Structure 1
């Protein structure tokens, strides 16, 4: 490997880390501004979920286009793709998928490392804030786009002293294709 290649890789790796840190700090500033503007953490939680939903509706297109993955055959397979491909692609982390129910319709995404929580300490006035609630919205929006209605909830939060951040994801139902007869594939 030439010196230029090593330098190029080093610069790229540093740039990737800088971009992740910039994103983390920018997200923190956004949450802080929402808390100041709304003055009610429940409203902030709802807004973060709504923003995440809108982001998820758009991110799924990029994930499908860049990853080349085929249609998933089950909710279990979908959760694995979300974890191993989606979170890796967009946040450079891979949560573990754990705690499945017997029917395979509920699981928990367990984050050993949640990059959104870097550089964050919640003040006592924000005890009810679900800082990473945007991720719940992203999951809902992305999966809605592939015809899966899910409910997501943060069940443990490292920012509040829990060992890890965990999101419980439940499949509510499969969304039926609502295209008119003229638009359906035969």
Structure 2
């Protein structure tokens, strides 16, 4: 929402602990013409994974956020997988008065 991107959400897990965010439009991808030659493990869109992981921790939940598909690497869409791991201890995240 803050980045101007509206993803599609898909959930194929019966326990609803995993889902995917599919980005049809990605501003980071549109500003890149092609990946530079060199290490193929670079993923310029990992910024999104950190944003999502940080937002989920504010709830407080722990999540594993990974890239499943990347348009910069030749896929048709950008897909981010989110797996909820556990509920975090709320006492660590409360402000002390």
TM-score range relative to shorter protein? 0.7 to 0.9
Q: TM-score, normalised by structure 1?
A: 0.47
Match for residue 103 of structure 1? 15
Match for residue 145 of structure 1? 58
**1:171 aligned residue (67, 84, 92):** 84
**1:129 aligned residue (42, 47, 61):** 42
Structure that is richer in strand per residue? 2
Q: Distance in 2 between matches of 1:148 and 1:166?
A: 21
How many residue pairs are counted as aligned between the two chains?
Answer: 92
Q: CA RMSD in A?
A: 1.4
Gaps of 5+ in 1: 1-87
Q: More relative contact order in 1 or in 2 (CA 8 Å, sep 6+)?
A: 2
Runs of 4+ in 1 over 4 A off after TM superposition: none
Gaps of 5+ in 2: none
Instruction: Please give the residue correspondences for 1:1-186 in structure 2 after superposition, counting only pairs within 5 Å.
Output: 88=1, 90-120=2-32, 121-178=34-91
Larger Rg: 1
Q: Distance in 1 between matches of 2:71 and 2:21?
A: 13
Q: Distance in 2 between matches of 1:102 and 1:157?
A: 26
Q: TM-score, normalised by structure 2?
A: 0.87
